[in-house]
């Protein structure tokens, strides 16, 4: 049974389909693993023992179904994604007792594909953060070093995958929240093209940036989950009507010979820690040895990406979070005197510090007199950043970049310095501004034993190409193993 803990989704799926293990056995194994590790890891906000075992029982009664690509596979779901009948808090006190009356599109798809949902993964409140320390409930810990952050905001998802609690998780990525925790915890994570996956039933942070995607232990596992959740949904007006290619099939076509990897020089300069830089160098060396080619490119406005992103994300957040007013749903303050105090008290008490900061800054950049100087300017720079990406991708097949400038850092290190924390997103958030897809995969472990991830970035809707290349890279990159817990 122990080998099963760290098996890939693809492998356990084979065993499930052949009835060598039952959905119930596997679900129990994961639930026991959670029980044994949660006190240390804090990956989960809600564990649905009963519900998961009930789902597994039904599946076992029906028997394996080869048309259900996740049949019997235990997964976790970031707590910003609605699950019918299962508390969904977005990591906030505001939604502490919120039980959604419907499933998000991606959850409907998981259920149709036969997945067993074990529970809801920990996260920074409303997905605002890079460490999961902004969770209103408890921080999550990196399984490779419990004193370090797992990254965020989908930190719980990454921890649950990396620590053997489940075989895949759904996260959301507004400015790096899938790719960065995947990199810091040593798993694979993909942010799909904006519009590839429906946001219906996903609690909104920055609506023009948010995208749901998979975290898993291998590229093939990510491909399998993405195939399940991708596709058009009329309930999300930004959902793309484009056909979903066969990601599984595409994997076989991956090869590195002659592939042009573009290295944006702005991603390899000042600010990149030496251990991460040397992991990137070794990765490039391996790629070149395998016949790939290096192309030097430039994304000249990278320096403006952090400011641009935070203006747009905060503006959208301030608008999206206006709905939590204490009237319709969510936290309602006691002892209020009038409507005004109902709003003010409910929002002051229900939201945490970082969320309040962002609402205020977002309202500021949208206010008359400042709108042109901040929001409009940011929207213009965003367009330039996107154009630069598209121009760079004319000279190469994919871009190859670090994900995080440093490996996981100690819990609490930047907790009181929001600006420093925002700088940690330098390599991830411009991709969301451009709306393009990115795949983060583990490429090395540092001398101190912490995982390093790199991302490959492609044109819009090039997920099949990224997954195929990612799988080819996986075969030549060192295996980082799994944390000992
Ligand atoms: N760290 C970034 C932020 O705080 C990105 C978060 C995310 O992708 N959800 O906004």
Scored b (16 or more CB within 10 A) or e, 221-245 reads bbbbbbbbbbbebeebeebbeeebb
Of the candidates 13, 130, 135, 153, the residue annotated as catalytic is 153
pLDDT number for residue 328: 87
pLDDT attached to residue 258:
97
Dist. CA 175 → ligand 1 center (Å): 5
Catalytic residue among 10, 13, 22, 78: 78
CB 12 within 8 A of CB 71: no
Ligand 1 pocket check for 308: Cβ under 6 Å: no
pTM confidence score: 0.98
pLDDT tens string 378-409: 999 999 999 999 999 999 999 999 999 999 99
User: In the prediction, which pLDDT does 2 show?
Assistant: 63
Torsion of CA 108, 54, 40, 83, to 10 degrees: 30
Q: Which pLDDT does position 158 carry in this prediction? A: 98
For the chain, the structural domain boundaries read 2-254+408-474, 303-380
Are the C-beta atoms of 318 and 358 separated by less than 8 Å?
A: yes
Q: Is the pLDDT of residue 478 over 70?
A: yes
108-116 mean pLDDT? 98
Give me the pLDDT at residue 140, please.
98
Cα(173) to ligand 1 centroid in Å equals 7
pLDDT given at position 471: 98
State whether the Cα torsion 253-257-258-262 is positive or negative. positive
pLDDT for the residue 3: 84
Q: Which atom of ligand 1 has the smallest separation from the CA of 130? A: 1
Handedness of CA 198, 194, 471, 444 (dihedral sign): negative
Mean pLDDT along residues 33-52: 98
Q: Separation of 310 CA from ligand 1 center, angstroms?
A: 9
Range list of β-strands (E), 134-281: 168-172, 188-191, 212-216, 260-264
Summary mean pLDDT of the chain: 97
pLDDT, one tens digit per residue, over 189-232 is 999 999 999 999 999 999 999 999 999 999 999 999 999 999 99
- CATH topology for 2-254+408-474 is Amidase signature (AS) enzymes (3.90.1300)
pLDDT at 1 over 70: no
pLDDT class of 105 with cuts at 50, 70, 90? very high
The label of the residue with tokens 């505001």 reads 94
């Amino acid at each position: 049974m122990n080998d099963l803990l760290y098996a890939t989704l693809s492998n356990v799926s084979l065993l499930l389909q052949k009835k060598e293990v039952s959905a119930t056995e596997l679900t129990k194994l994961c639930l026991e693993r959670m029980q044994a590790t949660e006190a240390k890891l804090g990956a989960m906000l809600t564990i649905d023992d009963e519900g998961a075992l009930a789902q597994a029982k039904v599946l076992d009664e029906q028997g394996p179904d080869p048309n259900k690509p996740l049949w019997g596979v235990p997964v976790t779901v970031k707590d910003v994604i609605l699950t019918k009948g299962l508390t969904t808090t977005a990591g906030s006190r505001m939604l502490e007792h919120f039980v959604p009356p419907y499933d998000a599109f991606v959850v409907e798809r998981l259920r149709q594909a036969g997945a067993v949902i074990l529970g809801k993964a920990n996260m920074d409140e409303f997905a605002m953060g890079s460490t999961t320390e902004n969770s209103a409930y408890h921080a999550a810990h990196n399984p490779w070093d419990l004193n370090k952050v797992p990254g965020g905001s989908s930190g719980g998802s990454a921890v649950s995958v990396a620590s053997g609690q489940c075989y895949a998780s759904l996260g959301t990525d507004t400015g790096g929240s899938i790719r960065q925790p995947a990199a810091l915890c040593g798993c694979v994570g993909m942010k799909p093209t904006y519009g590839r996956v429906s946001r219906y039933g996903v609690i909104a942070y920055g609506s023009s940036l948010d995208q749901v995607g998979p975290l898993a232990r291998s590229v093939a596992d990510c491909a399998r989950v993405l195939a399940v959740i991708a596709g058009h949904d009329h309930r999300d007006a930004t959902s793309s009507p484009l056909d979903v290619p066969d990601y599984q099939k595409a994997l076989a076509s991956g090869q590195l010979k002659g592939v042009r990897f573009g290295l944006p020089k702005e991603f390899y300069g000042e600010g990149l820690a030496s251990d991460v830089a040397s992991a990137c160098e070794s990765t490039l060396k391996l790629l070149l040895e395998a016949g790939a080619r290096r192309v030097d490119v430039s994304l000249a406005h990278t320096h403006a990406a952090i400011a641009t992103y935070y203006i747009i994300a905060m503006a959208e957040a301030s608008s999206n979070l206006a709905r939590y007013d204490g009237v319709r749903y969510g936290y309602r303050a006691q002892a209020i005197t009038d409507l005004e105090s109902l709003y003010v008290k409910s929002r002051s008490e229900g939201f945490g510090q970082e969320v309040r900061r962002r609402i205020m800054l977002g309202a500021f950049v949208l206010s008359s007199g400042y709108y042109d100087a901040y929001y409009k300017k940011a929207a213009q720079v965003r367009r330039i950043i996107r154009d630069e990406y598209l121009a760079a991708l004319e000279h190469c097949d994919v871009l190859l970049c670090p994900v995080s400038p440093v490996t996981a850092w100690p819990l609490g290190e930047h907790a009181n310095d929001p600006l420093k924390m925002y700088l940690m997103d330098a390599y991830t958030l411009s991709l969301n501004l451009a709306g393009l897809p990115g795949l983060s995969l583990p490429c090395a472990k540092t001398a101190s034993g912490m995982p390093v991830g790199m991302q490959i970035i492609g044109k819009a809707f090039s997920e099949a190409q990224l997954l195929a290349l990612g799988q080819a890279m996986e075969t030549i990159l060192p295996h980082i193993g799994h944390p000992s817990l």
